[in-house]
Structure 1
Amino acid sequence: MADALKELADWAQPLLHKLQPQQRRAAMREVAQYLQRSQVQRIASQRNPDGTPYAPRRPRAQLVAKSGAIRKQMFMGLRKLRNLPRRATADLASVGINPRVAYVARVHHLGLRDRVDRSDPTSPEVQYPRRELLGFTDTDLQAVEDILLQHLMDG
């Protein structure tokens, strides 16, 4: 995937420099907006960038709702747009994770060990399975190419 991303950057860079800075900024803004939506949808569908499903949650009593059904959606707070801020300039488009939720996202993204309740020192440590929260799919790369080509043809 990193190779495909590098190829896309190498392909797009000389073409984008033919555009005016405000046109490049508009293109990057559209790319960042697309990537932000794409990441939110992928996290909501609980899939890694390669298409594999997230490792399932382990059952816990606190996750059982009043009706007895387990709440299955992970990362509901992380999927909010304020927690996945986008940034666009004439030279870059990025989607990141808000620093307030970055610790939890990092633990899950990398599959690290952490306490279940960080405020309780007696809380057990758990090895969390790796769940890739941010990443590019092949569809994302194709969509970015399409967005950039559209801006090149318009500009």
Structure 2
Amino acid sequence: MSELDALETWAAPLLARLQPAQRTRLARAIGTALRRSQGQRIARQRNPDGSPYAPRRTRARVRDKAGRIRRTRAMFAGLRKARYLIVRAGPDSVAVGFIGRTARIARVHQEGLVDAVAPGGPRVRYPRRVLLGFTDADRDRIRHLLFEHLGA
């Protein structure tokens, strides 16, 4: 039994006593906190276990402009925005994830799948970069929010 399953088993009777609106409010608070922590972890380029993301592959320097300094930007800068990393909360569940085209891109990286670099371009196996996952700090944050909500 995972730590989250144990927490769910412990919290289920307490949460059952709350009204659906209160459970939805708690789920939204948990989802928002998780979205914030996931976005910060993605910005730090770290997997949930603390290891760094696999680096980008090096590109061939064909026809670079003379004297141009090439800087690599952080991966997934757009994906971590609240616009794409959404929270869905209800009285019985909370979900943090991606939707639409961003969900496909995130899934390719999350699972290390093969995908086309560009439409009609070469297909490449992307290294596994875990975008969404629980860290120990996330588990503590969920527990703290539960205690705070149930105690208040």
Report the TM-score when normalising by structure 1: 0.88
Q: Secondary structure at the match of 1:126?
A: strand
Does residue 138 (structure 1) correspond to residue 136 (structure 2)? The answer is: yes
Which residue is equivalent to 2:53? Answer: 54
Does the CA-based 8 Å contact 2:97-2:103 persist in structure 1? no
Alpha-carbon distance in 1 for matches of 2:100, 2:115: 18
Cα deviation for residue 55 of structure 1 reads 0.3
Q: What is the RMSD of the two structures over their aligned residues, measured on CA atoms?
A: 2.0
What is the TM-score normalised by the length of structure 2?
Answer: 0.89
Number of the residue aligned with 1:14: 13
- Give the secondary structure class of the aligned counterpart of 1:143: helix
Residues paired across the two proteins, number: 149
- Aligned residue in 2 for 1:34: 33
Q: Secondary structure at the match of 2:34?
A: helix
- Residue 43 of structure 1 corresponds to 42
How far does residue 24 in structure 1 lie from its aligned partner after superposition?
A: 1.4
Which whole-Å CA distance do the structure 2 matches of 1:145 and 1:139 have between them?
10
1:107 aligns with 2:134: no
Aligned-partner residue type, residue 29 of structure 2:
E
The alpha carbon displacement at 1:143 in A equals 0.5
Unmatched 5+ stretches in structure 2: none
Cα-to-partner distance string for 1:63-102 (whole Å, 9 max, x where unaligned)? x898513223001111111111101111111101112211
In 1, Cα distance between equivalents of 2:36 and 2:77: 14
| Whole-angstrom CA distance in 1 between matches of 2:102 and 2:68 | 29
Unaligned 5+ segments in structure 1 are none
The residue that corresponds to 2:150 in the other structure is 152
In structure 2, distance between residues paired with 1:12 and 1:135: 21
Check whether the contact 1:47–1:53 (CA below 8 A) recurs between aligned residues: yes
1:19 & 1:77 partners in 2: Cα distance? 37
Percent identity of paired positions between Structure 1 and Structure 2: 49
